[in-house]
Structure 1
Amino acid sequence: MKQNLRLTRSEKEIMDKFWEKEEGFTCSEIVDASPDRSWRKSSAHLLINALLKKGFLEVSGFKKSAKNYARVFKAKFSYTDYAIKIIMAGSTDDNIRKLIYKLINEATLEELEEMKMIVE
């Protein structure tokens, strides 16, 4: 089954929290980490469930929260991996080749040396 790579604006904002911190969050922690958003916990739960279904998040454990235990979620892959998946999904082999050539032509000598070590 092909993964749905499209994210709504709100889903992307939640994923950005996971990608920025590179750690797990409970639903309440996501709401608390987003003071600029007016998400309620119920809205955040819906978004997290959508991200679980799309394969962006996974349950990584449980954390005691007041009297109950809450699921801890973490990103299944990094933002870099997501960006690569987006590029690969919408590109032909020729376009990918052109992108690689463009990256090489604009890279610094240090970056080229690093790329060479990776390739070797």
Structure 2
Amino acid sequence: MENTRPFHITKAEDQIMNILWSVKEPLSQQQIVMVASDSGEMTFKERSIFTLLNGLMDKGMVQEAGFVRSGKTYARTFQPTMTRPEWYANAVYNSLDGKEANEFLHILRRLLKEEPTE
């Protein structure tokens, strides 16, 4: 079944993505849970991390990056497949129909021309 909303993410998925974007290095499931828990505002249950990461991989937002030692075994690590700005741009662009998308691009180009470069 094709995902008709590829850039829709839940609150829990959003928290995971924000963790991965802010840390800027691949993390294991347990490391993601630790960071979320340390924030004091964990939006998902620890036991659902596997399902959430698989959902993000199905959406093409997260990929396996490798393995790290975790006790006596190894754990997979995960990293985002796109930056936060790329995700927002795709989310907006894909929510618009053809005419709206062209108008959006035109407005964005105009705004970029007005923005002073650093």
Residue of structure 2 in register with 1:11 after alignment: 13
| Structure 1 residue 87: Cα displacement | 2.5
Superposed CA RMSD: 1.9
Q: Segments of 4+ in structure 1 off by > 3 A?
A: 38-41
Unaligned runs of 5+ in 1: 115-120
Partner amino acid, structure 1, of 2:105: I
Task: Please point out which of 83, 88, 93 is paired with 1:88.
Answer: 93
Residue of structure 1 in register with 2:107 after alignment: 98
User: Is the 1:27–1:41 Cα contact (8 Å) retained in structure 2?
Assistant: no
| Structure 1 residue 39: Cα displacement | 4.0
Whether 1:77 and 2:79 are equivalent positions in the alignment is: no
Structure showing greater Rg: 1
What is the CA–CA distance in structure 1 between the aligned matches of 2:73 and 2:43, rounded to whole Å?
A: 24
**Identity across aligned pairs (percent)?**
23
Whether 1:27 and 2:32 are equivalent positions in the alignment is: no
Q: TM-score, normalised by structure 2?
A: 0.82
Partner amino acid, structure 2, of 1:62: F
User: Is the 2:62–2:81 Cα contact (8 Å) retained in structure 1?
Assistant: yes
| Structure 1 residue 97: Cα displacement | 0.2
Unaligned runs of 5+ in 2: none
1:85-109 deviation digits (Å, cap 9, x = unpaired): 122212421221022212322x12x
Partner amino acid, structure 2, of 1:57: V
Say which is worse superposed, 91-100 or 58-67, in terms of deviation: 91-100
Residue of structure 2 in register with 1:118 after alignment: none
What is the CA–CA distance in structure 2 between the aligned matches of 1:100 and 1:65, rounded to whole Å?
A: 47
Partner amino acid, structure 2, of 1:85: N
What is the CA–CA distance in structure 1 between the aligned matches of 2:113 and 2:88, rounded to whole Å?
A: 18
How many matched pairs? 109
Partner amino acid, structure 1, of 2:14: K
